[in-house]
Amino acid sequence: MKYRQLGRSGLRVSQLCLGTMNFGPRTPEPESFAILNEAVEAGINFIDTANQYGGHLGVGVSESILGRWLAEDRSRRHRVVLATKVHEPMSDDINDRGLSARHIQMACDASLKRLGVDHIDLYQMHHIDRTVPMDEIWQAMDRLIAQGKITYVGSSNFPGWAIAATNERALARGRLGLISEQSLYHLIERRLELEVIPACNAYGVGVIVWSPLAGGLLAGPRTDGGRRRESESIAAARAARAGQLEAFHVLCAELGEAPGVVALAWLLHQPGVTSTIIGPGNLDQLKGVLGVPGIVLDPSTLDRLDHVFPPCGAAPEAYAW
């Protein structure tokens, strides 16, 4: 496993981050534990979850499963960088959501209880909340840091302007500010390159990627003769991009690597990307991508990938004058 510093912080995290959204609704607890054990044994030290994850089983389930795994061996807590999120509705209560100072405090305490830990390493705002003043949010985060309940603050799904504004307010308060932004980014969806990545690079904010395989579009065909279960929208997108995906599969075959592996490796070659989240539903899926950090794509391969999946264009300086 290879490691990178998370943004401008001194925190070093694995280039693969284990996402736990599948834990519970898709992956039973025993297999979730097996995935966690294998990931840590392979050197993954970065685990991401969110207070809402749990799907049809209810909010908080994924955090609770992770908490029970941590409780099995207390030494595990010191080996992993633990990240979770706040923002999404946790009940029908009108105040049990968003980024008000009240909700941030209550949600953090609830996450700590489910996880069975005394602090969270990276506390991320799951979405932007345009109804709450940024000074109120930083007041709440500063309090949690002072209480020793969180160590670093990150954002998720923020636009570039909000990353800049959020960090400027933190700097005005004499604080470190955001050290990470977790965003949707993959070969097909490259709009992050227009504004978000430039903003992150300018402020020393590390990019953590979610959905790196485009919901399965970039994972490639199964080799066991089976068919992937996929939504109608994914099936339609696969049909619409059939020619593009075929060219991608040809390139991957020439490299001798699975499409999903190449897609993940490409992300780790992009400026500003610290880590990409992998969300294996089973142990075999995890084992299939553990070698990704060791894959080097040469400039000609990167150029071919840009030809198959063109960037959105040059920004933000292209239209600034």
Q: Cβ distance 304 to 36 under 8 Å?
A: no
Name the residue type at position 291. G
User: Cβ distance 49 to 41 under 8 Å?
Assistant: no
Is the CB of residue 244 less than 8 Å from the CB of residue 309? yes
**What secondary structure does DSSP assign to 210-229, as a single string?**
E-TTGGGTTS---SSS----
**Which residue, chain included where needed, has tokens 């001194």?**
10
- Could you tell me the CA-to-CA distances from 236 to 84, 225, 251, 258 in Å, in that order? 32, 21, 23, 22
Determine the 3-state secondary structure of 143 from DSSP.
Answer: helix
Cα–Cα distance measured from residue 305 to residue 160, given in angstroms and rounded to the nearest whole number: 25
Measure the CA–CA gap between 21 and 156, rounded to whole angstroms: 15
Kindly write down the DSSP assignment for every residue of 271-316, as one continuous string.
TTEEEEEE--SSHHHHHTTTTGGG----HHHHHHHHHHS------S
For the record, the structure tokens of 259 come out as 């499409």
Torsion of CA 74, 28, 127, 143, to 10 degrees: -20
At residue 134, what is the residue type?
M
Catalytic residues: 53
Residue 257 — left, alpha, or beta (φ > 0 → left; ψ -120 to 50 → alpha)? beta
